[in-house]
Structure 1
Amino acid sequence: MSILTREEVEKHSSRQSCWVAIHGSVYDVTDFIDEHPGGPQAILRCAGKDATADFDSVHDQTLLSQTLPPSALQGQIEPGTLIATTSSSSSSSSSSLSSAPRPLPEIKTTATDPPIAPPLSALINLHDFEKVAQQHLPAHAWAYYFSGADDEISKAQNQKAYRKVSLRPRILRSIRAVDTSTTILGQRVSLPVYMSPTGIGKLAHPDAECALAAAAGHEGLVQVLANGSSMPIERVRAARTNPEQPLFAQLYVNKDIRRSEETVRRAVEAGARAIWVTVDSPVVGKREMDERLNLEVQARDSSARGQGVAKTMASSISPFIDWEILTWLRGLTDLPVVIKGIQCVEDAVLAYEHGVQGIVLSNHGGRSQDTAQPPLVTLLEIRRHAPSLIGSRMQIFVDGGIRRGTDVLKALALGASAVGLGRPFLYGLAAGYGEEGVRRVVAILRQEIEANMVFLGVTRLPDLGPHLLNTSRLERDVVGEVKL
């Protein structure tokens, strides 16, 4: 393999001829520019430069051999020879993007030292993890994970909906133990909680989705691997704690349908137990925190180009799909299919009629269309207008705004089979916590669920029901009439 000089590489710095160096290997990516899922600018900003830092912040190195043909490798270059690209936003303080977090126990350092994360034992609820993540994540990572669309009304209302539902505890039940286990698409899990698909886990921790997989295995949960995962599904599969640990795969339908076919094929070969088709974000929401940070970066660096992380990640998603996509998908696999992103009872009924095995009530965590109603309201809407769907062959999952064990129990009491959490598990990875941070998140949820089952006087999840809730305040938000 030839050793290249700086001059040889730097002259290939245009759309017409684009070379990049990654870990000392130089690749000709000219033909890949327009195929890059993150858009062409993400590659062009690295043209003729050392792109190792940019690449490693998002991707696993095995992606190179899976994406580029062997002929793309042009040679080697000595480390430090080329100008290195770095994410300008990564060095910015995330605190400039939102209000300062409330203080947590922290090891005291000098004013110039970066904050040191508190011990996991000091974090006693999921909100604590969010505060620590805000202090430690790079600005662009915090903006991508935390931000919602527009005025972030849906993002806030997702959590507030649970506060409008009151519990009706039962007493003197002599509860000696509770059973929190259940099944999700036939897979036995220890809690009615799963890891929602969340992209670019490497922004939080180098082990990314592999750490999530290991934590899920140890805690008896199921992980839905994001289409935009930093780690390839083969590596995530290898990170599981046992061969029977279930893994589901998310699918965003790509503008190039051949890429989606490849995604499904790899998921099947990797042993995924279900395909979760995400449909609630056909176009990217206007995530202003993410976009504002991008503008600040461009103002500081006139050579910076491109757009926010969210728009970059969503640039390859096809908005031109309809219910026929299920026929296409069933032509590729007989795995169970879940539609993620149901936001009204009419579409829940249509999903049932199309024979899917599950639906996720979700407004994309408030990240797509702002003022879309909270998932818990959609669940009440189904209970009111299509009650036969509750407990049917189609499982109903709720995703968005869940931060407490009581939230989980309220969703289940209203008919959900299980709930998904996304951001909290990413925050659990942050600040160097990795797998152990995620396990601490699960442990907190588990304790809250178990304790509140005792308060409610139930020993098993099937004992939960609307008789244990007062939903009158939230019922006012449910649409009065629908046409089914």
Structure 2
Amino acid sequence: MATIDGTELAKHNNRQSCWLAVHGEVWDATNFLDQHPGGANLILKLAGKDASDEYDLFHSPELVEETLGSKARKGTVDISTIPKMDKKSESGVKTGQSQPLSSMISVNDFELAAEKTMTPTAWAYISSGADDEISMRENANAYRKIFLRGRVLRKVARVDCSTNILGYHSALPIYTSPVGLAKLVHPSGECAIATAAGKEDCIQVVNTISSMPIEDIMDARVSKNQVVFWQLYADKDLEKSKTFVRRVEKAGVAAIWLTVDSPVVGNRERDERSKSVVDEMEKVVETTQSVGIAKASTGFINADLDWEMIDWLRKTTKLPIVIKGIQSVEDAVSAFHHKVDGIVLSNHGGRSQDTAQPPLLTLLEIDQYAPDILGKHMQVFVDGGIRRGTDIIKALALGATAVGIGRPVLYSMSGGYGEHGVRRMVQILRNELQTNMAFIGASNVGEIERGMINTRSLERMLVGSVKL
């Protein structure tokens, strides 16, 4: 393989000839520029330079060859010969001392700590919601509109929080939601989540845009029997999605979760304002607008899906299928008629369409207008706004099987906590859930029932009528 001098690499810094170095290897990305999901500008910003640090924040090591092909490899380079550039990229963690994990006594504590330890770019991407962030706030506020109606004189000396998710045992009625780009907050990325989930005996759902390859995530499990599900963003080229489904099947995932609530990327203003992904002052880049991380990483998503996608997915895989992103009782009933294995009530954490109704309200909608589909061959999950053990109880009392934990997973990883932070966060929820199950008189999750909650305040937000 040819050895390329850094000064030669630096000459290939434009749209007509775009080379970049990744971990000592030089790649020709010229023909890929307009295919890059985040746009050509993200690559052109690094043309003729060492792109290793920026690449590692978002991608797994082998992705460059999978994407560009072996013929795009031009040779190797001694990075010391590459002309130095003014580096403005950020690692996922600021310097500074993190608080002891023992000081984290609620899930909210991790968010407060994360704002101090994440870089501005990572914080803006992870914590932001769409537009005025009304939905993001209301996802959590909805739980405050439901009150518990505890039952007394019940034997609750031993409380069992375990449940069954798509036929698989879980020690808790929670799973880690498919958060993406976890390397933004910790170098172990999604692998740290896998290890933590295994040690706490709960299930991880892995994102299509994970920053670690699925094979590495599966290797990070504590045992080969540990269950992992995989979330699919359908590609504009469905053949690419088919190839990816085959890959994750081979890796050993146990179910496919198809996300349908984000055909386009929401207007996440804080993420856009950070604009750290593209430096507008780079004059070599032919650009008129900078983009945030969300738009830079999701340009491949297929916005032209309909319910026939379920049939396509069934022909592609025999794994259980879950539809993630249901926001109305009407679509919940449609999913039921399409005989999917589960649905996730979600507005994408308030990150897609602002003022979309909270998932808990959608669950109440189903309870009000289509209660017959709850617990009938299709499990219902709720994702968004869960911060307390009491929140979990309220969702289960309305018929949910389990709830997803999203942002708190990333918050708990930051500041160098990694796997240990995720475990601490899950343990906090476990303790709160056990305690409050005892208070309401439920010794196991099967005993949590509708009569244990007062939903009158939230009912005022219900849509007046629906057509099923």
Q: TM-score range by the shorter chain?
A: over 0.9
**What SS does structure 1 have at the residue aligned with 2:3?**
coil
Between 261-270 and 203-212, the greater mean CA deviation after superposition: 261-270
Would you say 1:186 and 2:167 are equivalent positions?
Answer: yes
Q: What corresponds to 1:109 in structure 2?
A: none
With a CA cutoff of 8 Å and minimum separation of 6, indicate the structure with the bigger relative contact order. 2
Checking the alignment, whether the CA contact within 8 Å between 1:52 and 1:84 is kept in structure 2 is: no
Contact 2:14 2:284 in 1 (8 A): no
The 3-state SS of whatever aligns with 1:57 is: helix
1:212 is matched with which residue?
Answer: 193
Amino acid at match of 2:208: N
- Shift in CA distance, 92/28, structure 1 to aligned 2, threshold 3 Å: closer
Residue in structure 1 matched with residue 409 of structure 2 by the alignment: 425
TM-score computed with the length of structure 1 as normaliser: 0.93
Which letter does structure 2 place at the counterpart of 1:125? Answer: S
Rounded to whole Å, the distance in 2 between the matches of 1:85 and 1:281 is 37
- Structure 2 CA distance, aligned partners of 1:352 and 1:244? 29
Q: Report the residue type matching 1:2 in the other structure.
A: A
Indicate the residue corresponding to 1:97 in structure 2: none
Q: Distance in 2 between matches of 1:289 and 1:93?
A: 18
User: Structure 2: where are the runs of 5+ without partners?
Assistant: none
Which one of 353, 359, 366 corresponds to residue 375 of structure 1? Answer: 359
Residue 61 of structure 1: how far off its partner (Å): 1.3
| Residue equivalent to 2:443 | 459
1:54 and 1:87 in contact (8 A); partners too: no
Say which is worse superposed, 296-305 or 226-235, in terms of deviation.
Answer: 296-305
Look up the SS of the partner of 1:169 in the other structure.
coil
Question: Quick one: which amino acid aligns to residue 18 of structure 2?
Answer: C
Note if contact 1:92-1:139 (Cα within 8 Å) is conserved in structure 2.
no
Shift of 1:85: 6.5
Residue 38 of structure 1 deviates from its aligned partner by 2.8
Between 1:78-87 and 1:368-377, the stretch displaced more is 78-87
Structure 1 residues without counterparts, runs of 5 or longer:
95-113
**8 Å CA contact 1:253, 1:260 repeated in 2:** yes
Deviates more, 1:388-397 or 1:32-41: 32-41
Deviations 1:333-391 (A, max 9, x none): 11110000000000000001111000000000000000000000000000111010111
| Equivalent of 1:155 in 136, 141, 155 | 136
Are the counterparts in 2 of residues 197 and 223 from structure 1 also a CA contact under 8 Å? Answer: yes
Question: How many angstroms does 1:24 deviate by?
Answer: 1.1
For the Cα contact (< 8 Å) 2:92–2:184, is it kept in 1? no
- Report the 3-state secondary structure (helix = DSSP H, G, I; strand = E; otherwise coil) of the residue aligned with 1:191: coil
Encode CA deviations 1:95-150: one digit per residue, 9 max, x unaligned.
Answer: xxxxxxxxxxxxxxxxxxx4310110001011110011111111111111000000
> CA RMSD for the aligned pairs?
1.9
CA distance in 2 between counterparts of 1:86 and 1:369 reads 37
Q: What does residue 316 of structure 1 align with?
A: 300
CA shift in 2, pair 1:323/1:225, >3 Å: same
Q: Is 1:2 the equivalent of 2:11?
A: no
Check whether the contact 1:340–1:360 (CA below 8 A) recurs between aligned residues. yes
Residue 31 of structure 1 and its aligned partner are, at CA, apart by: 2.3
Provide the rounded CA distance (Å) in 2 between the counterparts of 1:422 and 1:342: 17
Contact 1:194 1:223 (C-alpha < 8 Å) held by counterparts: yes
Which residue, 315, 336, 349 being the options, matches 1:352? Answer: 336
Q: What TM-score, normalized to structure 2?
A: 0.96
For 1:252, the aligned partner's letter is Y
CA contact (8 A) 1:19 1:26 kept: yes
2:79 counterpart of 1:88: no
When residues 481 and 191 of structure 1 are mapped into structure 2, their CA distance, relative to the original with a 3 A threshold, is: same
> For 2:249, what is the secondary structure of its paired residue?
helix
State the alpha-carbon separation in 2 of the partners of residues 388 and 244 from structure 1: 33
Q: Which shows bigger deviation, 40-49 or 117-126?
A: 40-49
Shift of 1:330: 1.0
Counterpart-to-counterpart distance in 2, 1:342 and 1:371: 15
Q: Equivalent residue for 1:37? A: 37
- The answer to whether the aligner puts 1:440 opposite 2:424 as a matched pair is yes
* Alignment match of 2:232 (pick from 241, 244, 251): 251
1:421 CA displacement? 0.8
1:118-137 equivalences in 2 (<5 Å): 118-137=99-118
Change (3 A) 1:300 1:14: closer
Q: Identify the match of residue 326 of structure 2 among 333, 336, 342.
A: 342
Q: Partner amino acid for 2:339?
A: G
Shift of 1:331: 1.1
SS of residue paired to 1:419? strand
Aligned-residue offset at 1:87: 6.9
| Aligned twin of 1:273 | 254
Identity of aligned residues (%): 52
Does the 8 Å contact 1:53/1:85 carry over to 2? no
